Amino acid sequence: MLLILRYRFVSFINKIKNLKGWKRLKTLIFSIVSFFLLILLYLSFLRILKYLKGVELIGDLLIWKLSSMVFVISFSMIVVSSLIISMTTLFYSYDLKFLFSLPVREDNIFGDKTISTVFYSSWSLVVIIMPYVLALMKVNGFGLGFLVSFVFLVVPYAFLAAVIGVIFSLLLMYFFPNSKTRDAVWILSSLSFSLVYVALRFSKPEKLLRPDMLGVIANYLSYLQAPTAPYLPSWWFTKALISWSGSNYSNFLFYSFLLYGSSWFLFWLLLKLSLKTYLKAFSGSQSVNQKKYFYKNPFEFKFLKFSELKDLLAFFYKERITVKRDIRYFSQIILIIALSMVYVFSVKSLPLDNYEAKNFVSFLNITVAGFVVSAISLRFVFTSISSEGGAWWIVKTAPVKIENFLFAKLIFYFIPIYLFSMVLVSVSNYYLEADLFMFRLSVFIITVMSFVISVFAVGFGSIFPDFNIENIHQVESSYGGFIFMAASVFYCVITATIFSYPVRNYFFCLYNPNYTFEKTLLYSALLVFLIISFLSSFFIFSRAVKSLKSHES
């Protein structure tokens, strides 16, 4: 096992050393952006904790109650994340066949994959918690020792949560040895996360920060003093930090021993369990249920009498079947629906009392909706080209036009993205009570924006394809994905800038009835917007066709 870990470490070092050119610049840019996002998180947490600290009598209780809730939620998220990731690392990782061919015991291979799962499922959540801990230190005046104690405790805390997820994954695949089990886990995990996220937002947690709610909070002193999930390791983690902050080092050592002892014992138990279950679970995961398929005449084939549409319809049919068979699309659609519900609810909950403010937010909502459409297009449309993988050579050598291949993808993905954007904008405008002018303008703009962003996604996905990917998420984080997002965001900003002048003129009319609305200004903005949209789309699409034609598989 030490040899495998050494191999992982050397591979990681070599990957860092081989970063050159744009990859090094991309890594630097992402690092800077991530750093600023962490700073924003820190400032947000700092503001919340300062407010809670200022509450008389129960300020400290509120802070530690909030901390315990943060830690129990993060613990649960690591468990779910580990459950999902372990399904891939333990049973579908690309190097498993090579590792099983080596004279290495299966528990060593299992241990290596478990450690990989622990890292990938917990590092991002630990990084996100760090700004909260720093804000906690700032508000309470804790010294550097508190940060050292957090780092000392977070290792077994995250390790224990991830190991629990691996145990669930192993037992599920052992008792239900089928590739469909992984699909069910993805769906159920996405559904549970979405329900929790929606329920948390709909509970309106911002009410706790309202001064008029303090009387209600004071009635729950017993609740604030009670432990949050006392039998979970997240409470041991919280109690250890409380003990350190209160200089109660004996309790700190006790809870530290509980965390470290439980994590290592559970890991040892997991390795022993893997000796009897892992091979059977792995073997079963490679099989599928035998199912009888009955041929049905596809919808697209009804239009094959139009000879000029044969290639387009065939690719459209292929894309529809591919999406239907990939369960990952459905799990992510569940998350998108949850995020959309929270977005609309947040718009509805905005404290807007006057007519002008609602219309102004309606205009800003167009740009925000464009950002959302760009993010969804990055995941579904941009990656659709690279997801062809090793089968790209079939398209390349087939007697079909690349234009039809790209146009079929564009139409296939544009339809649901357009419907999603229309629902998002229309429902938001309904709750904002936007007037007819802003409603029509926003619907028109989002229609054009959805199409152009879809063209950008297909185009940049074709200009920067990667048909040798191991994980589709690698395509999203590639430099091509970064360029696509930058171009889409720039297009959204340009759109908002173009229409800001006629919209401002319209707002002047709302404030001053004597002010005349200049229709020529609106028509000029529409013309400029359409010209920029058409030229940029045409340029990107033609570049995409040339790129794929010259690409060697």
Whole-model pTM: value is 0.67
Query: Which residues of the chain fall below pLDDT 50?
Result: 208-215, 217-224, 292-295
CB atoms within 10 A of CB 538: 12
3 state SS for 245-290: HCCCHHHHHHHHHHHHHHHHHHHHHHHHHHHHHHHHHHHHHCCCCC
Q: Which of 118, 119, 89, 105 is CA-nearest to residue 282?
A: 89
Alpha-carbon span 152 to 155, nearest angstrom? 6
Amino acid at 18: N
Instruction: Specify whether the CB–CB gap between 118 and 156 falls below 8 A.
Output: no
Burial 482-506 (b: 16+ CB within 10 A, else e): bbbbebbbebbeebbebbeebbebb
Alpha-carbon span 267 to 75, nearest angstrom? 17
* pLDDT at 384 (0 to 100): 84
* pLDDT at 172 (0 to 100): 78
* pLDDT at 217 (0 to 100): 46
* pLDDT at 41 (0 to 100): 84
* pLDDT at 293 (0 to 100): 47
* pLDDT at 531 (0 to 100): 95
Question: What's the first-to-final CA gap in the chain, in angstroms?
Answer: 37
